[in-house]
Chains A and B, each alone.
Chain A
Amino acid sequence: MEVTFRIRRQNPDVPGQEKPYWQEFVLRDVDPTDRVLEMLHRIKWEQDGSLSLRRSCAHGVCGSDAMRINGVNRLACKILVRDVGEKVQVEPILGLPVIKDLIVDMEPFFDHYKQVMPFFVNDEALPEDGRERLQTQADREQFDDTTKCILCACCTTACPSFWANGNYVGPAAIVGAHRFIFDTRDQAEKERLDILSEPNGVWRCRTIFNCTPACPRDIEVTKAIGEVKLAIRKGETFGIIQIDEVH
C-alpha cells in the first residue's frame, strides 16, 4: 500500500526552519503490519536524513519514541500502519518544548518524576539471615501495574491539566510514586503523600482519563491516581482500600 506521512518539522539551527512547518512524504510498498517507526526510518534513511526523532528498542519497552500520531499519543514502534491508515499525521508530544522535529525537551518531565521520591526507602535492619525481605505474592500484586511504567511521557503529555500548568507533576510521576506507596516493604509513603498533596500534586488531576488510553503499557493510570488520592484522603494506605471507592 501507499502511505502519506504529514510530519511537523522544526530546526532552530537552520534559517527558515526555526518555526514549525508541515512536510509530506509518500512511501510505497508499505505492509500493513509495518511499524510506524519503520516508516519514519524509511523516510529518514531513503528520502531525508535530516528528519529527527528519538528511538531505541523499537518494541515498546524503552520509551524513547513517544509522539502524537493522528492526534493521539503513541510509541511509534508500538503502532502498526494498519492501525493508522493511509494518511498519517505525526507531530511531537504536547506540553514540552520542541528541540527539533519530533524531539522534545524531556528535562521538565524527568524533573517531575524526581520530585516524588521515586526510589525505595526502608531504613530498618536487613533480615538477620542475610536473605531477602519477605513479601506475599498478593502484596506484590498490589502495585504490579505501576511497575510497568517506562517513563515515555505518553500519559503526562496527553493530560490537559498538564498542558494548562507545566508545574503539575503529571500522571507519570504519580504512577512512579504509586509503585512505592503501595509496596508493603517501603516506608516513605507518608513523605510521598505529603508531596503529592501539594498544589501541584494529585489534586490537579481532574479525572479527564486521557492518560489511561495513552499508556502503551496498558497501565490503568487514572485508577492509580485515584488510589493515591484516596490514600491521601484516608491518611493511610494499606489494607483498607476498596478500589471501587475510587471511582
Chain B
Amino acid sequence: MQVHKHDAIIIGAGGAGLMAALYASKGGADVAVVSKLYPTRSHTGAAQGGIGAALGNLDEDRPIYHTYDTVKGGDYLTDQAAAKILAENAVDAVIELEHMGLPFDRTSEKRISQRRFGGHTRNFGEELVRRACHAADRTGHMILQTLYQQCIKNEVKFFDEFQVVDMIVVGGTVAGVVAIELGTGEFHIFHGKASFFASGGWGRCWSVTSNAHSLTGDGAAIALRRGVPLQDMEFFQFHPTGIYRMGILITEGVRGEGGVLINSQGERFMERYAPSAKDLASRDVVSRAIYLETRAGRSIKNRGYVHLDVRPQTVNRYFAEEGRDRKDFIDEGTVERKLPDILDFCRTYLGVDPVKEPMPVQPTAHYAMGGIPTNVDAEVVIDADGAVMPGAYAAGETACVSVHGANRLGTNSLVDLVVFGRRGGMKVAEYVKGADWTPLPADAGGEIEAEYERIRGGSGKSRPGELRALMQQTMMDNVGVFRTEETLQKGIDDLAELRERFRTDLQIDDKSRVFNTDVMEAWELGCLLDLADVTARTAYERKESRGAHSREDFKKRDDENWMAHSLIYQTGEMSDPSYEAHFDKKVDLSLWEEEIEQGIPEDQQKFRPIERVY
C-alpha cells in the first residue's frame, strides 16, 4: 500500500473540513484533505436559509440571546458553555466569511442581510429576531464555494475521491487512516499526527431524507468500530418541510419570510401548537405537529402531508392579522428574489409554482445531533469525564460537542461547521508542532482490505440496494418522529436480521476495481446499519421525551433521571459487534450555575431547565 505522510489528515471536504484545513495550514501544519467526493459536491452546499450570528444588522441582538435560544432549542441537553462559545464565535466567523469574499445579501446600509428563523429570538424569547445571515437561499453553497476557493488560494493539498474506510489506532493514539482511491480501487495509508473527521451525517438511514446519497456516516461508523463511543445518537432531527415523498429540503427561510403551514381544513394549525412562535417554533415541535395533524385526519387528502403556503396574498393576510407594518408585506418579486432555488425545486420536481400554489411538505430526516463526542476544540473525547483520544479530532455534523443538545436550531449547523472547524484547525496546528509521529503497525490497512475483498466476493442473493431500502423503511416506521418501546424493539429486530443478511448473503455484481460503486455502496450500507442500530438502541434505552426524541410511552421530559448525554460503545468482535449504552455523561449547565451563584432569583434565571414553550 502506498503511504502518504502529512501532519494533519482532514477527512471530508465540506464546511467543517475545509475550515479546519484552512486554519491548520495557516497555523503551519502540512495538511491533506481526503474526501470521497470532490469538495464542491459536499452536502454543506445544500444548506439554504442562512447562518445565525448576532450581528444586529437589522434588529437589536446579542450573542447571549443566541446562546439562550440554542440551549432552549436543544431542550436543555445542550452543553451551555459550548453554546456560549458557538454564539460568540459565530459573530467573528460570519464576518470572516465575508472577508473571504462570501457574497451575502445586503441591507440598505450595505451590511450583511439577516432573516428570521425558527427558534431565534431577542431578549430571551421575547420576539423573533432577524439573525440568519443569508446569500439568497443558497447560503451553504456560498460557504462551501468560498472555503474551497480559499483552500485553492492557500494551496491546500486535496485527495479527491479517496474514501476513508478505516482509522489506525496504536495503543490508544490515532496514527492515521486508510483510504481507497475510488478511481483505481487501490488502498492508501495516510499517516498523520492528527486525523480530523469532518465526514458528515447519516440521514440515509431513513427512507425520506433531505440528505445526499453519500451521507452514510462513514466517519462516525469507523470511529465506533475503533473504540470511540458515539454520543446522543437517539437524537435525530426531522425537518418539518421536506418536499412530499422526495424529502428534498424546503428551507425554514420560507417561513422566515412569512410562509405558513396549512392543514386540510385550511387552518394555520401551528397557532394551536405554538401560540407565540407559531410556524417558527423549533423543528421538533413543528414536525410533531404535522404528524399529529395527520393522525387527526387533517393532512391534505389524508396522505400525510400539509401545505406550506408562501403566496403573497396568504402571507400578507396573516401579516395584517398580526398587525405587522405594511412595509413588511411581500409581493411575488420578494419571493422570487429571496427564494429562487426553492421556486426552482418546486417547479422542477412538482410542477408547482409556490408563488401561485402552496407546496406539499412532510417531515424529512435531516440532521444528526449526536455523533463523535468532542470538546470545544474538536478533540475527540472517549469517556464521560472527557478523556481525549490523542490524534483524533472531529467537527461538523459527524461530531457532537454538544451544542445542539436534543434538537438543533435552524442555521446552527452552518455555525457549528465554521466555529468548530476553525477552532479544531487551530488546535491541530498547535498539536502537530509538539506531537511525535506514532509509528504505523506492520499490518495497517490489512483488516479493512480483507473486509473489502469479502464484500467484493459476495455471491448471495441480497443486493445492497434491497437491504438498504428495508433498513430505511424500518427506521422510518419504527425509529422516526414518534417512538415507543414496541416500535423500537421492532426496529432493533429488523436491523439484526438485515445485518445477518449483510454478513452472509450479499450479492455484488461488479467484481472489478476501477470506480467500483457497487462495493462502495455495500460498504457504506455497513456503516448505515451500525449507526441505525446504535440509534435504535439508545432510543430504546432513553425512557423520556426530549427534543427530537419523542417517546409516546414516556411523554414528559424527565430531568431527574435523564438529564445526561448517552454514550454508546461497541464491544465484542468486529465481525459480530454488540453495544453498550451509558447515560452518565453530565450535561454542562454552567451558565445556570453562574446565575445561581450570582444569587439571581429562580424566576429570573434564563438558563434554568424549564419546560419549553414556543
Stretch of A42-50, A155-163, A195-203, A224-232 lying at the B interface: A42-50
Which chain A residues lie closer than 8 Å to B41 at the CB level? 56-57, 62-64
A133 and B99: CB pair below 8 A?
yes
Question: Considering the chains assembled together, what is the distance between the CA atoms of A52 and B108 in angstroms?
Answer: 49
Stretch of B76-84, B148-156, B169-177, B293-301 lying at the A interface: B148-156
Question: Considering the chains assembled together, what is the distance between the CA atoms of A179 and B148 in angstroms?
Answer: 15
Q: Is A88 an interface residue, CB under 8 A from the partner?
A: no
Q: Is B38 an interface residue, CB under 8 A from the partner?
A: yes
Which chain B residues lie closer than 8 Å to A56 at the CB level? 37, 41, 43, 212-214
A59 and B248: CB pair below 8 A?
yes
Which chain A residues lie closer than 8 Å to B512 at the CB level? 11, 13-14, 50
A180 and B510: CB pair below 8 A?
no
Which chain B residues lie closer than 8 Å to A99 at the CB level? 183, 514-515
B45 and A61: CB pair below 8 A?
yes
Which size bracket describes the interface of B in this complex? 35 or more
Question: Considering the chains assembled together, what is the distance between the CA atoms of A183 and B37 in angstroms?
Answer: 29
Q: Which of B500-525 contact A (CB under 8 A)?
A: 507-510, 512-518
With A13-B514, A99-B514, A131-B95 known as contacts, the answer to whether A49 contacts B507 (CB < 8 A) is: yes
Q: Is A192 an interface residue, CB under 8 A from the partner?
A: no
Pick the contact of A45 from B145, B345, B466 — CB < 8 Å? B466
A-contact bits for B52-70, CB 8 A (1 contact / 0 none): 0001000000000000000
Stretch of B134-142, B305-313, B529-537 lying at the A interface: B134-142
A105 to chain B, nearest CB (A): 8
Which chain A residues lie closer than 8 Å to B37 at the CB level? 56, 62, 64
A-contact bits for B172-208, CB 8 A (1 contact / 0 none): 0000000000010100000000000000000000000
B88 to chain A, nearest CB (A): 14
- Shortest 9 CB-CB distances between A and B: which pairs? A120-B101, A45-B465, A49-B509, A50-B510, A13-B512, A119-B149, A134-B110, A49-B518, A119-B153
With A62-B40, A78-B348, A140-B103 known as contacts, the answer to whether A120 contacts B517 (CB < 8 A) is: no
With A59-B46, A114-B152 known as contacts, the answer to whether A134 contacts B183 (CB < 8 A) is: no
B463 and A45: CB pair below 8 A?
yes
Question: Considering the chains assembled together, what is the distance between the CA atoms of A136 and B111 in angstroms?
Answer: 8
- List 6 additional A-B contacts (Cβ < 8 Å) besides A49-B510, A62-B40, A183-B103: A13-B185, A49-B463, A61-B138, A62-B212, A103-B515, A144-B136
Q: Is B105 an interface residue, CB under 8 A from the partner?
A: yes
Nearest chain-B residue to A57 (Cβ)?
Answer: B212
Q: Is A185 an interface residue, CB under 8 A from the partner?
A: yes
| Dominant secondary structure of chain A at its interface with chain B | loop
Which chain A residues lie closer than 8 Å to B112 at the CB level? 132
B337 to chain A, nearest CB (A): 9
With A46-B465, A59-B345 known as contacts, the answer to whether A132 contacts B98 (CB < 8 A) is: yes
Question: Considering the chains assembled together, what is the distance between the CA atoms of A50 and B109 in angstroms?
Answer: 56
B360 to chain A, nearest CB (A): 12
A128 to chain B, nearest CB (A): 13
Tell me which of A63, A122, A140 has the highest count of chain B C-beta atoms within 10 A of its own C-beta: A140
Q: Is A137 an interface residue, CB under 8 A from the partner?
A: yes
In the complex, 20 of the A-B residue pairs with CB atoms within 8 angstroms, ordered by the A residue number, are A11-B512, A11-B514, A13-B512, A13-B513, A33-B350, A33-B351, A52-B516, A56-B41, A61-B141, A80-B348, A121-B153, A132-B104, A133-B98, A134-B110, A136-B110, A137-B105, A144-B103, A148-B141, A151-B38, A183-B101
Which chain B residues lie closer than 8 Å to A166 at the CB level? none
A12 and B514: CB pair below 8 A?
yes
Q: Is A207 an interface residue, CB under 8 A from the partner?
A: no
Q: Is B341 an interface residue, CB under 8 A from the partner?
A: yes
A135 and B110: CB pair below 8 A?
yes
Q: Which of A39-98 contact B (CB under 8 A)?
A: 41, 44-46, 48-50, 52-53, 55-64, 78, 80
Q: Which of A4-49 contact B (CB under 8 A)?
A: 11-14, 33, 35, 41, 44-46, 48-49
Query: Chain B residues in contact with chain A, CB under 8 A?
Result: 37-38, 40-43, 45-46, 55, 95, 98-101, 103-113, 135-136, 138, 141-142, 145-146, 149-150, 152-153, 183, 185, 212-214, 246, 248, 341, 344-345, 348-351, 463-466, 469, 507-510, 512-518
Which chain A residues lie closer than 8 Å to B509 at the CB level? 48-50
B-contact bits for A107-133, CB 8 A (1 contact / 0 none): 000100010001111100010001111
Q: Is A165 an interface residue, CB under 8 A from the partner?
A: no
B189 to chain A, nearest CB (A): 23
Question: Considering the chains assembled together, what is the distance between the CA atoms of A132 and B350 in angstroms?
Answer: 39
Nearest chain-A residue to B108 (Cβ)?
Answer: A137
With A136-B106, A150-B45, A186-B101 known as contacts, the answer to whether A58 contacts B517 (CB < 8 A) is: no
Pick the contact of A55 from B213, B348, B463 — CB < 8 Å? B213
Which chain B residues lie closer than 8 Å to A183 at the CB level? 101, 103
Question: Considering the chains assembled together, what is the distance between the CA atoms of A106 and B95 in angstroms?
Answer: 33
A47 to chain B, nearest CB (A): 9
Pick the contact of A52 from B104, B110, B510 — CB < 8 Å? B510
Q: Is A100 an interface residue, CB under 8 A from the partner?
A: yes
A50 to chain B, nearest CB (A): 4
Nearest chain-A residue to B522 (Cβ)?
Answer: A49
Q: How many A-B residue pairs have CB under 8 A?
A: 163
Which chain A residues lie closer than 8 Å to B101 at the CB level? 119-120, 122, 180, 183, 185-186
Pick the contact of A118 from B99, B149, B466 — CB < 8 Å? B149
Tell me which of B37, B38, B105, B107 has the highest count of chain A C-beta atoms within 10 A of its own C-beta: B38
Which chain A residues lie closer than 8 Å to B466 at the CB level? 45
Which chain B residues lie closer than 8 Å to A218 at the CB level? 344
B122 to chain A, nearest CB (A): 20
Question: Considering the chains assembled together, what is the distance between the CA atoms of A135 and B512 in angstroms?
Answer: 53
Nearest chain-B residue to A61 (Cβ)?
Answer: B46
Question: Considering the chains assembled together, what is the distance between the CA atoms of A131 and B136 in angstroms?
Answer: 21
Nearest chain-B residue to A136 (Cβ)?
Answer: B110
Which chain A residues lie closer than 8 Å to B141 at the CB level? 61, 148, 150
Which chain A residues lie closer than 8 Å to B106 at the CB level? 135-137, 140
A58 and B212: CB pair below 8 A?
yes
Which chain B residues lie closer than 8 Å to A41 at the CB level? 465
Which chain A residues lie closer than 8 Å to B518 at the CB level? 44, 49-50, 52
A218 to chain B, nearest CB (A): 8
A119 and B150: CB pair below 8 A?
yes
With A11-B514, A136-B106, A136-B110 known as contacts, the answer to whether A57 contacts B43 (CB < 8 A) is: yes
Which chain B residues lie closer than 8 Å to A11 at the CB level? 512, 514
Nearest chain-B residue to A132 (Cβ)?
Answer: B98
Nearest chain-B residue to A44 (Cβ)?
Answer: B465
A121 to chain B, nearest CB (A): 8
Question: Considering the chains assembled together, what is the distance between the CA atoms of A45 and B344 in angstroms?
Answer: 29
With A12-B514, A134-B111 known as contacts, the answer to whether A147 contacts B135 (CB < 8 A) is: yes
Q: Is A209 an interface residue, CB under 8 A from the partner?
A: no
Which chain B residues lie closer than 8 Å to A122 at the CB level? 101
Question: Considering the chains assembled together, what is the distance between the CA atoms of A239 and B83 in angstroms?
Answer: 44
With A61-B46, A132-B99 known as contacts, the answer to whether A52 contacts B341 (CB < 8 A) is: no
Which chain A residues lie closer than 8 Å to B103 at the CB level? 140, 143-144, 147, 179, 183
B45 and A132: CB pair below 8 A?
no
